[in-house]
Amino acid sequence: MGFCSNQLLCLCTLLSLLVCSLTSRAEAEFENEVSSRLVINTSSIVATISDHFLCVTVDFTEARECDYGWCKGTATGVLYLDLENERLGNTLAGLAPVMVRLGGVLQDLVVYDVGDLLPSERCTPFVYNETALLYFDGGCLGMERWDALNQFFMKRGVSVAFGLNALYGRPKSEEVKHITTPWNPSNTENFIRYTRDRAYPVIAWELGNELFGDISQGTTVPAALYAADVIMLRDIVDKLYQDEASKPSVVAPDMTQFGPEAPFSESEFAIFMDTLGDGVVDAVTRHIYNLGKGLYGTDDMINNKIRDPKVAAAEEDVYKIFQSVLKEYPKTSAWVGEGGGSARGGLEGVTDVFISAFWYLDQLGTAAKYNNQAFCRQSFVGGNYALLDVDFNPNPDYYGALLWRQLMGNGVFKVEIEGGTNEVRAYAHCQRNNQGGLTLLILNYSNVTRHHLDLSLLGYPADSSPSSFNQLLTEKKFQDDKIHLLSSDGASSGDFRLEYHMSALNRNVSSSVVLLNGQPLLMTPSGELPTLALVEVNSTSPISVEPLTYAYVVIQNANVPACAASDSETFRSQSTA
């Protein structure tokens, strides 16, 4: 018995030592420390985004619209969304003046119940038909519903980009792979007139969804014919809004692929733009699902893509190519009309949890850097890639978008990281609603390394050599090292910067709960958004970002000359992109 007891004692001791060793090793690995320098060229703005850059999508969806086992359901669609829900209204208002893009796959079946209709285009509800184009017959937007939607949007201070039916008057069959007949714009013209007469907040009319280039939705419209359709829409908008102080943008073609891996779409786009010429289309749109399709993917595959900064860098190369093409058309801007990361509804437990921020927020930063004027998150509600769950509670990415809306202004600066690391990606903008202030977004992709970043502002003060911002602050003899918690509306002295550190609950990046400076962000029982509590940090200290976390950092007293103006027009005149 005594021998057995000693055996157990020895075994327990060995196990304890092993556990301690593994724990110490894990902690040691987790606590790797790397110091780098974040250099921001504040001498000039490289891009200027619009006030409607932040954008979310709401689709025309149906209960039977399913993607391999996951069904979108009617509750999240344009025709059925519960406009009386407080959580829905409050979360949307929190992102104002966000732009809401209404459209998606089924938009090219929707008839508007206004004016005379073609005999072949009846305004009837969607009916599932597995042999029909997009698996549905019918589709109708009544004006009573359209009125209610606009009242909802106006109350929340948001604007609308509406996706128009580009197949009206055309054959709708899986057998017709390439459209050869012209678009009939009569229903669209009546609908736009109705909308204009009521001063509804539509700031963009977008023609067609994924009918361009490589076949994505069962049929495609050739580039030259698509351009002719857009010219008709341009004429309608110019005619109907000729007496208005401003007119909505004309937007197209919502292509799904672009770049070296999609040579056909790239060549079609060249034909499309050459046919149109400069200024006919105000913005050209592409959709980004560079993580793959949720139905084919696995948690590990898509998760690993999100966590790999090389994947982010590869998509940045496509942004560069797109920007270089559009330099030939200075009156036309770029939009990301849909950005969901993983197509076919996303992937539960990946694109709707904390880790998704390393795709989404990096995409926001990259899109802004390359002068895209909108990035529309697919979707606001509906799917495993939505900002809200089916009960209208925010998923983690919603809070990342909320901080973007509150902190990131229109002027964008070039950022470089000195120190040889590719584990950190960072972006810098003028601070929103604070002249001269600067906001940084920093993402640490490493799962083992804490990164410490010293900050340098190139061109501040106005000279040709880099100037250490830390040194400037040290010269002012700032002594106070303490960090203390304040509410987001608290006063801040010039000695401190403001930091918003976002992390996953229990460091589990698959968590649906996000922590802001260690505190969980949860809506109140009455459906109100939580307070966003910041920390004030002495400005002379490096910015420290924990593994697999991200942070917004605000330097209110940066006094950046390029951020001295508050209006977009002044920014635009300074933009070099």
The sign of the dihedral angle between the CA atoms of 545, 550, 556, 561 is positive
Cα 128 → chain centroid: 31
Structure tokens at 360: 């989404």
The secondary structure of 277-319 as a DSSP string is: -TTSSSEEEEEE-TTEETTT--HHHHHHHHH-HHHHHHHHHHH
DSSP 3-state assignment of 335?
Answer: strand
Distance between CA atoms of residues 9 and 12, nearest Å? 5
The secondary structure of 455-516 as a DSSP string is: EEEETSSSSSSEEEHHHHHHHTT------EEE-TTS---TTEEEEEEEEEGGG-TT-S-EEE
Catalytic residue among 266, 338, 423, 536: 338
Give me the long-range contacts of 72-81 (CB less than 8 A, separation at least 24): 72/345, 72/382, 72/383, 73/382, 73/390, 75/390, 76/379, 76/381, 76/382, 76/383, 76/386, 76/390, 77/382, 78/102, 78/141, 78/149, 79/141, 79/145, 81/381
DSSP 3-state assignment of 90?
Answer: helix
Is 338 one of the annotated active-site residues of the chain? Answer: yes
Structure tokens at 246: 């401003």
The residue whose two tokens read 């799917």 is: 383
Catalytic residue among 189, 206, 210, 268: 210
Is 210 one of the annotated active-site residues of the chain? Answer: yes
Q: Which amino acid is at 567?
A: D
DSSP letter assigned to residue 350: T
Peptide bond into 379 cis (omega under 30): yes
Question: What does the angle CA 252 – CA 256 – CA 262 come to, to the nearest 5 degrees?
Answer: 115
DSSP 3-state assignment of 161?
Answer: strand
Q: Which of 2, 8, 12, 37 is nearest to 456 (CA)?
A: 37
Q: How many helices (H) and strands (E) does the chain have?
A: 12, 30
Q: Which amino acid is at 8?
A: L
Structure tokens at 343: 């197509």
| Dihedral angle, C-alpha 77, 83, 88, 90, nearest 10 ° | 150
Strands 543-545 and 534-538: unpaired
Query: Which sequence positions are flagged as catalytic?
Result: 210, 338
